[in-house]
Amino acid sequence: DAMVIQNPRYQVTQFGKPVTLSCSQTLNHNVMYWYQQKSSQAPKLLFHYYDKDFNNEADTPDNFQSRRPNTSFCFLDIRSPGLGDAAMYLCATSRGRDYNQPQHFGDGTRLSIL
Amino acid sequence: QKEVEQDPGPLSVPEGAIVSLNCTYSNSAFQYFMWYRQYSRKGPELLMYTYSSGNKEDGRFTAQVDKSSKYISLFIRDSQPSDSATYLCAMNQAGTALIFGKGTTLSVSS
């Protein structure tokens, strides 16, 4: 089945220790998104790639970076995680540049900060 | 006023009940409306996708959009325990990012 896969499902890191979350997709979609979702909150868009074009949301902290080495993979790097960065991180894909194309989500990585 | 408002619930119903989930929004330019279902510890799964006003039906699920009232609904008929999840509405206009509601948690008891 074509899908969006996130690894790891659970990640624990120490305050200030860099961490990388990964996402892969077999849907061959052009667009990949990273969202942050805190408990009982709406998913918040951090950034997205259209192919190799990177688009950062205005309020995404500089602490968050992303890489997309090829169509299938996308990474979220948190350079110096703070306690406030503990959340579920969701990767999503969609086919076209228009945001109105349906987005397909992975099951997320739950990040804990010690 | 937040762009998208959604009552977080929780909403508890017996099996077989008709469930009504709703969102209101403030931006009259929104054209695309979606409902996602999110099970605990899982990512959101697209349930319904509608453009502009009107109704759309898919099995036990019906999505309604009333643009004049800036109000969207998701109806679930003959609800099942497997429908227990958080339901997120999401919407946008062409070329802009999706705006999600906070989600309504539904519990269907057998």
**pLDDT 10s digits, B63-96:** 999 999 999 999 999 999 999 999 999 998 877 8
Å from B31 to nearest chain A CA? 9
Task: Choose the closest CB to A99 out of B51, B95, B102.
Answer: B95
Using a CB–CB cut-off of 8 Å, the residues of B that contact A are 4, 8, 31-32, 34, 36, 41-46, 49, 51, 88, 92, 94-103
Nearest to B80 by CA among B105, B107, B43: B107
pLDDT at A99: 66
A2 has a pLDDT exceeding 80: no
pLDDT tens per residue across span B21-32: 999 999 999 999
**Interatomic CA distance for residues B60 and A73, integer angstroms:** 36
For tokens 């990040």, the residue is A111
Confidence (pLDDT) at A1: 62
Tracing tokens 């990767």 back to the chain, one arrives at A91
Q: Report chain A residues whose CB lies below 8 A from the CB of B100.
A: 42-43
Q: Is A10 exposed, middle or buried (0-12, 13-18, 19+ CB in 10 A)?
A: exposed
Q: What is the mean pLDDT of residues A46-69?
A: 92
Pure H helices in chain B? none
Distance of CA A14 to the CA centre of its chain: 19
Q: Is the pLDDT of residue A113 over 90?
A: yes
Cβ of B49 within 8 Å of Cβ of A110? The answer is no
Task: Over range B49-73, report the average pLDDT.
Answer: 93
| CA–CA dist A14, A65 (Å, integer) | 18
pLDDT value at A67 more than 80:
yes
